[in-house]
Structure 1
Amino acid sequence: MNFKNLLTDDRAVSPVIGVILMVAITVILAAVIGTFVLGLGDQVSESAPQASFSFDFSANGGGFNGQPGDIVNVTHEGGETLEASAISVEGDNDSTTLTTGTAFSGTISSGDTAGYNHVDPGETIRVIWTNPAGGSTNTIARATAPQ
């Protein structure tokens, strides 16, 4: 075997590997630039807050402040402090609409409670967070009223 010919031989796969690497770099750069140009990069960083809520249902037939219907008290048990403007509490029944007895206001921190009227038996109540930067919503807590 002639080592001199082996070291001077310029036939190799390096041009093919170079082309593949250049194509891969171009595709990755195009994907990153396209994501931020289309505004998808801002939405990736906005995730739902981590918070825990408890639900206390009163199925006595009397609503909050003497209004008809059962009530639910929603209490922030722990986790992140939330802006009340980004939080809504909704029921899943179309026949009646939850009405506010005492609403969340300002910032919602651990221990804050809000009361809602007109809860039907078996109705699912949800605490919904709306992203202030966009229109996306996430359900961060839910409970079903007793039958």
Structure 2
Amino acid sequence: MNFNQLLTDDRAVSPVIGVILMVAITVILAAVIGTFVLGLGDQVSDSAPQASFSFDFADGGDGFGGNANDVVNITHEGGETIENSTLSVSGDGTNSLSYVANDSNWGDDDVVSAGDRISFEKVNSGETIRVVWTNPNGGSTNTIARATAPQ
């Protein structure tokens, strides 16, 4: 038996690899074309950003109950940077939240990134505060963080 010839015989390798590559290319092309034909391609990049926010509620006196000095500080702890124009903060209380400009650096450079903070006064006891992201391409909204004020 000639071992040299046995180790150098590779006649069947080339056609098998060629068939596997052709099948793989066909499957990938079908998946990409199918995604865009069905309209799913537009939705791939429209998911809400992944970011972490912390909420710090401070009592302004007379117990936490919605007076002008009850404050919530919202801090971007980490994750993706987000365009300031796509974020909003809302509460479900009877008072409208009042932005505290001198205690906020949220979006100073048009993006909200780790360490940026925003503050609001007039937070009611038990009120749920939400950070809402609005998709700039379609107007859909996602709540990306929420917290409830202490009772």
**2:116 is the counterpart of 1:112:** yes
1:84-109 deviations in whole A, cap 9, x for unaligned? 1000011012x211111135221111
> Which has the larger helix fraction?
1
- Count how many residue pairs are aligned between Structure 1 and Structure 2: 110
Compared with structure 1, are the counterparts of its residues 42 and 124 closer, same or farther at alpha carbon in structure 2 (3 Å cutoff)? same
Report the TM-score when normalising by structure 1: 0.67
Q: Following the alignment from structure 1 to structure 2, what is the Cα–Cα distance between the partners of residues 132 and 52?
A: 20
Q: Following the alignment from structure 1 to structure 2, what is the Cα–Cα distance between the partners of residues 69 and 83?
A: 29
Q: Following the alignment from structure 1 to structure 2, what is the Cα–Cα distance between the partners of residues 73 and 118?
A: 12
Compared with structure 1, are the counterparts of its residues 59 and 134 closer, same or farther at alpha carbon in structure 2 (3 Å cutoff)? same
Do the aligned residues in 2 keep the contact of 1:55 with 1:72 (CA within 8 Å)?
yes
Once the 2 structures are TM-superposed, how far is the Cα of residue 30 of structure 1 from its aligned partner? 8.6
Give the 5 Å matches for 1:1-147. 33=37, 35-36=38-39, 41-61=41-61, 68-93=68-93, 95-102=94-101, 104-105=106-107, 106-147=110-151
Q: Following the alignment from structure 1 to structure 2, what is the Cα–Cα distance between the partners of residues 60 and 96?
A: 15
What stretches of structure 1 of length at least 5 have no aligned partner? 1-28
Compared with structure 1, are the counterparts of its residues 68 and 32 closer, same or farther at alpha carbon in structure 2 (3 Å cutoff)? closer
Q: Following the alignment from structure 1 to structure 2, what is the Cα–Cα distance between the partners of residues 108 and 32?
A: 32
Give the counterpart letter for 1:91 in structure 2: G
Name the SS for the 1:115 alignment partner. strand
Report the counterpart of residue 14 of structure 1 in structure 2.
Answer: none
Q: Percent identity?
A: 57
Give the counterpart letter for 1:52 in structure 2: S
Runs ≥4 residues deviating over 3 A? 29-32
Once the 2 structures are TM-superposed, how far is the Cα of residue 117 of structure 1 from its aligned partner? 1.1
Once the 2 structures are TM-superposed, how far is the Cα of residue 31 of structure 1 from its aligned partner? 8.7
CA RMSD of aligned residues (A): 2.2
Report the counterpart of residue 12 of structure 2 in structure 1.
Answer: none
Do the aligned residues in 1 keep the contact of 2:53 with 2:74 (CA within 8 Å)?
yes
